[in-house]
């Protein structure tokens, strides 16, 4: 009887031991993807090179109208195509456009807008969403878009639904002068208006960083009055200089794009969603000989070095990936009409790269699979507690079985 008792007890203890070993291995193995993901994002997005943002938005404004301002429409549509190609969805783009060129009676190529003589790329196409068109393109609407002071009847598609984790690219083109930009030959927005609108955005936590670009005559005067933090600005010409068109199309009959925007878009064509090119790389391409004016850059309000600021931090899509501890308590988010933003889809390139790195195991040796982070230690401790409970239960059951057998 005693032999049967000790045999049963030993068998239960062995089962508990193997359960403990397998559970410990499982806890260790589950920690591996977390370590690999953390290592991947640390290497590819170091703290000096990244912004603390989770979403990108673009506000693209063509403030001109009429057929002879064809090139300004092409400027804005060229930027629209670029930010969409780099991953910013239409839901995160506000496009303000007179939209009176594509179907103009003088357009020899109906329902199209081109930016070069060869007409190789139709910027209008079949996949364009104009949020404010025609007489909706006003100074008031532009400022309301930036500040979020909208009537409740305005649909979400016409709202800039940013928050304090949003990077915003603001592009403007049209006719202007010293510290003003004309809106459809009817009204003007001043450098003070733009500066105050940005300050309202900052006070209301509507942006993390802003990249302001403007292509007009005396463009650099338009960012001279900005005083809010985390704003990087560039313009096509100094005070007293004009901003010139790049080329004419004899069949269209007018200039089809401005020089400054042409060279910016030409540079952007060499960028993809995972590009490591920086703002300094872009600014280094600026040349008076090419642009025929003196582009300006203002970075004194910007908190990061230009050679550490990726272009895709503003003009590209963002993968919303945040590594947190498993036992971290998440705070309940607060939602309002002013700060709510729809989630974006993660970048396919980043997700595929993480998956490939996890599968290849190139940076994870078998000997190094020891939990080192607080999360991994907690996971192993939780597994140990579960095994100890099972072990104690097995011992109790074994004791009861032994007592029953010996009592007979």
Q: Residue 390's closest CA among 4, 5, 23?
A: 23
Q: Residue 190's closest CA among 199, 198, 202, 178?
A: 178
Q: Give the side-chain half-sphere CA count within 13 A for 351.
A: 8
175 catalytically annotated: yes
Set 53, 62, 72, 217: catalytic member? 217
The pair of three-digit structure tokens given for residue 327, joined into one six-digit string: 């036992």
Q: Residue 167's closest CA among 324, 342, 318, 297?
A: 318
**Contact (CB, 8 A) for 50 and 167:** no
Neighbours of 399 (CB within 10 A): 14
Rg (CA), the chain: 30
Burial 326-337 (b: 16+ CB within 10 A, else e): eeeeeeeeeeee
Set 53, 62, 72, 175: catalytic member? 175
Question: Concatenated DSSP letters for 134-185?
Answer: GGG--HHHHHHHHHT---TTS-GGGS----TTEEEEEEEES-EETTEEEETT
62 catalytically annotated: no
- Positions marked catalytic: 175, 217
């Amino acid at each position: 009887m005693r032999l049967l008792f000790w045999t049963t007890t030993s068998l239960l203890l062995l089962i508990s031991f193997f359960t403990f070993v397998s559970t410990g291995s499982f806890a260790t193995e589950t920690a591996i993807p977390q370590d690999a993901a953390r290592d991947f994002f640390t290497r590819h997005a170091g703290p000096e090179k990244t912004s603390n943002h989770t979403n990108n938005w673009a506000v693209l404004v063509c403030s001109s109208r009429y057929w002879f301002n064809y090139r300004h429409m092409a400027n804005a549509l060229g930027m629209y195509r670029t930010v969409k190609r780099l991953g910013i969805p239409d839901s995160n783009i506000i496009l303000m456009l007179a939209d009176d060129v594509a179907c103009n009676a003088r357009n020899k190529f109906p329902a199209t807008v081109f930016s070069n003589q060869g007409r190789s790329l139709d910027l209008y196409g079949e996949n364009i969403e104009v949020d404010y068109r025609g007489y909706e393109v006003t100074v008031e609407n532009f400022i309301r878009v930036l500040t979020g002071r909208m009537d409740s009847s305005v649909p979400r598609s016409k709202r800039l639904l940013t928050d304090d984790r949003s990077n915003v690219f603001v592009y403007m083109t049209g006719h202007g002068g010293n510290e003003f930009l004309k809106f459809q030959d009817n009204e003007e927005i001043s450098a003070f208006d733009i500066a105050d609108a940005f300050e309202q955005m900052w006070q209301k936590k509507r942006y993390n960083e802003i990249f302001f670009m403007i292509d007009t005559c005396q463009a650099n005067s338009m960012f001279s009055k900005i005083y809010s933090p985390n704003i990087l600005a560039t313009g096509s010409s100094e005070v007293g200089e004009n901003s010139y068109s790049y080329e004419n199309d004899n069949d269209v009959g007018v200039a089809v794009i401005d020089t400054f925007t042409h060279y910016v878009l030409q540079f952007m064509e060499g960028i993809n969603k995972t590009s490591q090119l920086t703002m300094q790389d872009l600014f280094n391409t600026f040349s008076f000989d090419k642009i025929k004016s003196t582009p300006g850059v203002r970075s004194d309000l910007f908190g990061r070095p230009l050679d550490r600021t990726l272009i895709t931090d503003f003009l590209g899509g963002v993968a919303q990936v945040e590594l947190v501890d498993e036992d971290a308590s998440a705070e309940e988010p607060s939602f309002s009409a002013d700060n709510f933003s729809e989630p974006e889809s993660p970048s396919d390139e980043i997700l595929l790269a993480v998956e490939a790195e996890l599968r290849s195991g190139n940076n994870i040796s078998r000997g190094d699979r020891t939990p080192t982070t607080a999360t991994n230690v907690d996971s192993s401790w939780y597994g140990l507690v579960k095994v100890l409970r099972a072990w104690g239960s097995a011992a109790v059951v074994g004791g009861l079985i032994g007592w029953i057998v010996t009592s007979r």
